[in-house]
Structure 1
Amino acid sequence: MDDTSGLPREPRVAGPRAAAELLQADRPRARAARRLRLRDASVVLDRLAELAARLVGAPIAQISLLDDVEVVVAGTGLPPGTVGREGPLDATACAVPAAEGAPVVVPDVHAEPRAAELPQVRAGLVGAYLGVPLVDTAGHTVGVLCVAAPTPRPWSDDDLATLRQLAAAAVSELELAALRAEYESDRVRWGLAVDAAGIGTFDWDLHTGELTWDARLIEMFGYAGGDFGGTIDDFNARLHPDDLPRVTDALQASIASCGDYEAEYRVVWPTGDTRWVQARGRTLADENGAATRVLGAAYDTTAERAAGMRVTRVLEAMPAGFYSLDREWRFTHVNAEAERLLGRSRDELLGQELWTAFPAAVNSAFEESYRTAVRTGTPVHFDAHYPAPLDGWYELRAWPSPEGLSVYFLEVTERRRVQDRAERAAQRLALLAQVSAELAGALDAQTATAHLPRLVVPALADWCIVTVVDPDGRPRDVGHWHAVPSSRALVERYAAVRLDAMPATAPLMRALLTGEPVVERSGAVRAVLAEGEAGDLLAALDPESAISLPLRGRDRTLGVMTLYFRRGWTPRDEDLATAQDVADRAGLALDNARLYGQQRALAEGLQRSLLTEPPEPDHAEIAVRYLPAAEAARVGGDWYDAFLQPGGATMLVIGDVVGHDTEAAAAMGQLRALLRGIATYSDAGPGEVLRGLDASMAVLQTRVLATATVARFEQTDDERRRGVTRMRWANAGHLPPLVINPDGSVAELATWRGDLLLGVDPGALREESVVTLDRGATVLLFTDGLIERRDADLDAGMARLREALRELAGRPLRELLDEVLHRLVDGRPEDDVALVAVRLHPQDVPRPSEAGPNRIPDVVPEEPDL
């Protein structure tokens, strides 16, 4: 297995069983993994697994947590029932990267001895594996994100970098989900604590005398069924005789003043049991100030008195902070957790006004929400940030009461941090995915690189300029963008003049020279430029700092991406890491384009070196064209040839060796040379030349297949006087020639019959066909790359070619061939294209000037039979 650099190293563990033993011995790591275990995989994790599979081009992706067992929490391409399944650690490949704490790269599991014991490998389900450990914020390895393929395949550095980014996002999502579960559990416990307080309510209408109690209060006073009559007498009947006068006085005082009512008293049940009740209320008045009703609440304090203030103990034991405020916003109770979260003791806070103790709460979400709850009488629930010295985020629930406001709260700073980190990680992944898509989908890497500033601004910088190095070594600015539309014209002009004004010691030049990032701190950005237009433009743009990131290829720096930051913008470390990742991907794309161009030029040069200029016999004009495939890797065996035989006859050849690689190109050169030698020595006809070539291939053991058409143009003295020429031709499985008659019609050689391909049977007979041509006719021989399409058959391609030839019949020969290539393949054929054509000019007039000079070998007769 390989480490993160892709270079072989000595593995730290011997196999999955040894890795399982190491993992099971690490109890803190197991507890950290167990904390993140979810009952069901989240949608985000499933999408991360799908994104991992799509970005690296693997059919299988899986996210696993490893504590005492492996738990698959998300995945794609897995058998049904895999997600949520538990399995032993010694039966999973994920144990190895988890135990080593480093990525594991296995292009071929069959070549990896440690993989032989795994059931997935023995069953033939996995042929290649790439796994990255999931490390939580405490540094524990809690699981693994992996991708796999059923057959061996290589894994690139980009695949590894992509999986690392996705692993960070997966850990963030797992931690966020665990925090959410913890906080939800806490909220349920708050609700249970409130219910446990056992509060009942009452409403006494002073006009009608009706007294309304809720079920809890009826139960509190020992009434059952319909025993409660709904009058103040029912209330007085249950009061302890010693408490009745005091409670009655408190009620009368509240009614008389339309003020608050508070009392603690004993209730005597019919069974003789005595309960303590604490009651609070308020008398409401009408528009004339007369008392109309008394509203309030009561709760049973018997248990509190017996057990030492039970509610206080509940509040003290709560995992959430709690404090209560009276109607003057003074603290009346503060529990232990609130003391810890607020950084103040209860002795400091009790009796102090909230707005004085915490002045930053004034005119904030805290004040707005608290006053809304008191004004409307409804609970509120919100998140808010309190600045230093607390400097934290809090989740709060506030319940209004007649006494004031009760507040339950939790510090959620960590949850917000994890959530923000997850969101930033998702944004970075989206940006990198978009950059990769732009670079991979563009035909011209420089054009795609020029578009990078629009992708990274404003996500990573205020504005950006991208520079590439031309083949002659000169830097050139190719792309720029500013987040502010009004500043884009300034950036455009600055990019046009800055390189000429930039000294060799400028950060951009240093980044090009060293291949390392160069940072320009505050005030140093403008110092590198002398006075002039470039300096004035940079002063107008007014960046505070900048960083020049090299676009690095495999062995050279191919450009620089310069990010500029406005005043007050301090880039985060993860943003700079993302920017460097973008720059590295752009550099690799430029390097691939460079290597692609070199490969294409080499392949095309090899192909063209095997093809020679045609002769120009008297009154016959020959033109040739060769166009390589758009993909450099598809160099193949297409060839053309034109030469004179010893007797003076003109011979044209078109051929295609089966295959598309350098071996096919080499075989093409060998067959072309053999055919030339046979034809120019023997003066044989087309059929005999092909038969001799087939025999030579068998003797020389040239184990290739090829198609070919050989056409010879002959003319007797009588035919010369009549102005006609015979074309004798033979075909070895190739497309037939097309003839453009002098009247512009295209002749379809309906009587032709193709013989076997070359290389199939050296003893096969080769037949010849003969057609008589008028002077002025044009014959075209071509390979199938001219008419072949992925989305259409050859018949459709032949129809397009015939139509084009009819429209172009009157054009000069070379112009005709160029236009045919433009119309049928638009300069980018899917396969190599070779063309050879001859135009038979009239012999009773001088050779036309467009046919060029008359060029024939010295050994050929001066008056050849054409």
Structure 2
Amino acid sequence: MHGTATPEPAADVRATARAAAALRSDVPRMRAATRLRPADAGIPGLDRIAGLAARLLGARSAQVSLIDDVLLVAGGAGDAAPAVGTEVPVEESFCGLVAAGRSPLVVPDAAADERVRDLQRVAGGEIDTYLGTPVTTSDGAAVGTLCVFDSAPHAWTEADAGVLAQLAASVTTELELAALVREYEQVRLGWRLAIEAGGVGAFDWDLRTGELNWDDRLTAIFGYSPDEFDGTVEAFNARVHPADLPRVSEALKHAIDGLGEFEAECRVVLPPGETRWVQARGRTLADADGTAVRLLGAAYDTTDFRTEDARVSRVLEAMPAGFYSLDRDWRFTYVNAEAERLLWHSRDELLGETFWDAFPAAVDSTFEEHCRSAVRTGRPAAFDAYYPPPLDGWFELRVWPSPEGLSVYFVEVTERRAVQARAERTAQRLALLTQVSAELAGTLDAQVATSHLPRLVVPALADWCIVSLVDDEGRIRDVGHWHADEAQRALVARYAEVRLDAMPATAPVGRALLSGEAVHARRREVLAVLPPGAARDALALLDPEGGVALPLRARGRTLGVLTLFFRRGWTPRQEDLATAQDVADRAGLALDNARLYRQQQQLAEGLQRSLLTEPPEPDHAEIAVRYLPAAEAARVGGDWYDAFLQPCGATMLVIGDVVGHDTAAAAAMGHLRGLLRGIATYSDAPPVEVLRGLDASMAVLGTDVLATAAVARLEQTDDELARGVTRLRWANAGHPPPLIVQPDGSVADVATWHGDLMLGVDAGAVRRESVVTLDRGTTVLLYTDGLVERRDSDLDAGILRLRATLTELAHLPLQQLLDEVLERLVDGRPEDDVALVAVRLHSQDRPRPPEAGPNRVPEAIPAEGAPGSTASG
């Protein structure tokens, strides 16, 4: 630049102001680059640089500005320069244009320069000339400006601009230096505050001169005033407790000789006699020759920690549980009093000893597995474990790792485990007894259920087992056996097959049967009574420790024997033997109950059947009957069936049910059956008249019972015989309707049948008859409600089930059809008595089929009337 600098072309002031405003978006980045903050304003070096710029360039004033959200005056010189810290909007300053343009701004005459004419007015006309240059960081980011200005026009040269640019670089250096100084002061202040807060004192021992330097904090820790401490190691030794001094001195010597680390904790005796604990750590420094020259380090007061440790120790000593801690090498570092008692070792024996050496049985055990896992994973663990003699006990442990090692809390739970084991055995015993009871109660065949007992009691009560029963002839036979070892089961089966034939009466099984008491025997005793042979050889191979024969008792009878065998080395517990005898007694009771049930069932069924007779077999009409007593033997019922011929030769079918389930009902059933038979066979009356006569007779005789009944008669005229059809005339006194199975297998709709009032309610009740024509090949079924009634469904649903079953079974012979109906509808075990009477009409144009059986007709029936059932009705 030569002479007067040529003004730059005129520009729109508002556009320049917008560019200056956009500069604010770069301010955070620029401040981060130089680590500057507004508080940096007022740096003394900046004032000096501004004064130098004013003198060198002959200007009245100079100014250093920093760009923040506003223009911040950071330094200045001259009477027109704003005070340091003054803030000016960027849009209203000459310096804002410099920063916005990131290049020098040369204004010889502000009044004549359109770029700054408005800004001059804002400045009050005090700036007539201006030269400014940006202050940038090393990466070119503009963070401020350096400028000179005057109240009179000035012709700026290129040399003037170059001088100002060089001074701007000094401003950048001054700013960076101020930032570094501030950071250093902040770090130094932080360290000082941290050390003071932590109560840490520092020391520096010059090993060549012997001079020992302590800071004020360390001097105070050792109880010296700054004037008292003479800077010698003797002053240090004078404060260390005499009992700790040899150990500390040895640690110092070891650190210096080995050029290593120094660490020691010792007691310090202060002048009033107070004792404090101090922890010191340091490091030895060597010169180039490897000679120790200095020991640097720090120390702090640990008395409070020691006090807290003592408090914790008192708590641990008072704990009713064992506690010990192990270091990273598994050495005991602490053992409380309860742990001494539980581990049978004193703490003097354990401290410093490794856990695995002190308790070798813990190696490769649950203890090692969980402890090493806790250390490896850093997670606490809880477990129960057994330690063999001499401790011989169960322990509950809680272990948790720490940087120092492993802490262990434990209590002995041997008694608790024993109680739990007893409780579990009791629960298992009850479960076994429940299962046995369910097995025995789940079937009417108690002998079959008893044969399953060995599988229930093995292996819970014995290693293997055989159950024997006494049959109706008084002979004993083995009915079940089982072994816990599958490979031995065939051998047990062989032994059970041959043992009773070889076993004398003096054997444990025979003695248990005769005495009704349990008989225990050792292996040699059983072998001694068995003669040489297959049984003895098999027992020798099974090789039991011994056994016990338990009688199956009930109501003064012994019905069998449950023999338990135990493997070598297994001595049965008394509670197990008591459970086994309970099982045997339950089996005996079930067997005796089954015996009584059979007796009662036979008695009831015999009584019931004695009142029923075999049906006749008129030509071409096949009659089949069934009577099935209720599953409960004592439920003797009033169900009956009947089939007979009237004097006219007509076949009568009767089905009835007296209300009640007891012997009185059975007796009333026999009474009504006899009355009905007499009325029908004497009067030759049709069904409706038979029922009227029976109801009237009951009233006259004072028979105070209620009953239902259905009476049907087969009738046929000569014309009907020729056409191959038969009429069925019937009357119903409150009984389920008969069902008719057509030759094609379809079943007549029950809605076509009508039922009247049951017997015993009103002797004058009006009764009706129904008549239906049947084709030959038709089957008629009369039944009692025990066949179709259920506790969980109504009568109509049962009749629908029966109709579906008859449709499916219509093709079967009559006898087989009735058997299948009973099996499908009541599983052969009805809840109530069931009586059935059915007739199948065979074709009359051919001989009576063989499956119908022989033709049987009472002698009193005229031969000419019986074959065709010719009652005309």
Alignment of structure 1 residues 658-807 onto 2, 5 Å: 658-716=659-717, 724-740=725-741, 746-748=747-749, 751-774=752-775, 777-789=778-790, 793-802=794-803, 804-805=805-806
Q: 2:522 corresponds to which residue?
A: 521
- Between stretches 352-361 and 599-608, larger displacement belongs to 352-361
SS in 2 for 1:524: helix
Closer, same or farther: CA 268–672 of 1 in aligned 2, 3 Å: farther
Contact 1:648–1:864 (Cα < 8 Å) also in 2: yes
What are the superposed Cα offsets for residues 578-611 of structure 1, whole Å, 9 maximum, x if unpaired?
3223333333333333333333222222221211
- Between stretches 761-770 and 778-787, larger displacement belongs to 778-787
Alignment of structure 1 residues 608-619 onto 2, 5 Å: 608-619=609-620
User: Distance in 2 between the 1:392 and 1:856 partners?
Assistant: 90
Q: How far does residue 407 in structure 1 lie from its aligned partner after superposition?
A: 6.5
Contact 2:553–2:584 (Cα < 8 Å) also in 1: yes
Q: How far does residue 259 in structure 1 lie from its aligned partner after superposition?
A: 8.0
Contact 2:444–2:594 (Cα < 8 Å) also in 1: no
Q: How far does residue 690 in structure 1 lie from its aligned partner after superposition?
A: 0.9
Q: How far does residue 680 in structure 1 lie from its aligned partner after superposition?
A: 2.4
Q: 1:427 corresponds to which residue?
A: 428
Q: How far does residue 757 in structure 1 lie from its aligned partner after superposition?
A: 0.9
Which amino acid in structure 2 is aligned with residue 834 of structure 1? A
Alignment of structure 1 residues 129-528 onto 2, 5 Å: 226=197, 228=199, 231=202, 233=215, 234-235=217-218, 237-241=220-224, 244-245=236-237, 246=240, 249=249, 252-253=252-253, 255-256=255-256, 261-266=263-268, 274=274, 276-277=276-277, 298=302, 300=304, 317-321=318-322, 337-338=338-339, 340-342=341-343, 383-395=384-396, 409-528=410-529
Contact 1:278–1:300 (Cα < 8 Å) also in 2: no
Contact 1:275–1:301 (Cα < 8 Å) also in 2: no
Contact 2:464–2:483 (Cα < 8 Å) also in 1: yes
Contact 1:239–1:265 (Cα < 8 Å) also in 2: no
- Between stretches 852-861 and 517-526, larger displacement belongs to 852-861
Contact 1:283–1:295 (Cα < 8 Å) also in 2: no
What are the superposed Cα offsets for residues 272-309 of structure 1, whole Å, 9 maximum, x if unpaired?
99553275999999xx9x9999999955498799xxx8
User: Distance in 2 between the 1:408 and 1:741 partners?
Assistant: 87
User: Distance in 1 between the 2:371 and 2:807 partners?
Assistant: 87
What is the TM-score normalised by the length of structure 1? 0.63
User: Distance in 2 between the 1:280 and 1:560 partners?
Assistant: 84
Contact 1:281–1:296 (Cα < 8 Å) also in 2: no
User: Distance in 1 between the 2:582 and 2:282 partners?
Assistant: 67
Which amino acid in structure 1 is aligned with residue 610 of structure 2? S
Instruction: State the structure with more CA Rg.
Output: 2
Closer, same or farther: CA 741–320 of 1 in aligned 2, 3 Å: closer
User: Distance in 2 between the 1:376 and 1:719 partners?
Assistant: 100
User: Distance in 2 between the 1:745 and 1:405 partners?
Assistant: 87
Closer, same or farther: CA 371–842 of 1 in aligned 2, 3 Å: closer
Which amino acid in structure 1 is aligned with residue 427 of structure 2? A
Q: 2:182 corresponds to which residue?
A: none
Closer, same or farther: CA 296–500 of 1 in aligned 2, 3 Å: farther
What are the superposed Cα offsets for residues 215-274 of structure 1, whole Å, 9 maximum, x if unpaired?
9xx9xxxx98x36467565455413359843477466346345688544324879xx995
Q: How far does residue 744 in structure 1 lie from its aligned partner after superposition?
A: 5.9
SS in 1 for 2:760: coil
Q: How far does residue 632 in structure 1 lie from its aligned partner after superposition?
A: 3.2
Q: How far does residue 710 in structure 1 lie from its aligned partner after superposition?
A: 1.0
Closer, same or farther: CA 405–685 of 1 in aligned 2, 3 Å: closer
Closer, same or farther: CA 687–314 of 1 in aligned 2, 3 Å: closer
Q: How far does residue 797 in structure 1 lie from its aligned partner after superposition?
A: 4.4
User: Distance in 1 between the 2:556 and 2:722 partners?
Assistant: 68
Which amino acid in structure 2 is aligned with residue 252 of structure 1? L
Which amino acid in structure 1 is aligned with residue 276 of structure 2? W
SS in 2 for 1:240: coil
Contact 1:604–1:628 (Cα < 8 Å) also in 2: yes
SS in 2 for 1:699: helix
Contact 2:221–2:300 (Cα < 8 Å) also in 1: no
- Between stretches 629-638 and 786-795, larger displacement belongs to 786-795
Contact 1:278–1:301 (Cα < 8 Å) also in 2: no
Q: How far does residue 669 in structure 1 lie from its aligned partner after superposition?
A: 1.8
Q: 1:561 corresponds to which residue?
A: 562
Q: 2:574 corresponds to which residue?
A: 573
User: Distance in 1 between the 2:376 and 2:799 partners?
Assistant: 85
- Between stretches 644-653 and 853-862, larger displacement belongs to 853-862
Q: How far does residue 458 in structure 1 lie from its aligned partner after superposition?
A: 2.1
User: Distance in 1 between the 2:712 and 2:365 partners?
Assistant: 93
Which amino acid in structure 1 is aligned with residue 705 of structure 2? V
Q: CA RMSD in A?
A: 4.7
Contact 2:687–2:769 (Cα < 8 Å) also in 1: yes
Q: 1:623 corresponds to which residue?
A: 624
User: Distance in 2 between the 1:313 and 1:819 partners?
Assistant: 86
Q: Which runs of 5+ in 2 are unaligned?
A: 1-187, 204-214, 225-233
Q: Which runs of 5+ in 1 are unaligned?
A: 1-209
Q: 2:170 corresponds to which residue?
A: none
SS in 2 for 1:632: coil
User: Distance in 2 between the 1:857 and 1:416 partners?
Assistant: 83
Q: 2:135 corresponds to which residue?
A: none
Q: 2:21 corresponds to which residue?
A: none
Q: How far does residue 631 in structure 1 lie from its aligned partner after superposition?
A: 4.0
User: Distance in 1 between the 2:516 and 2:235 partners?
Assistant: 89
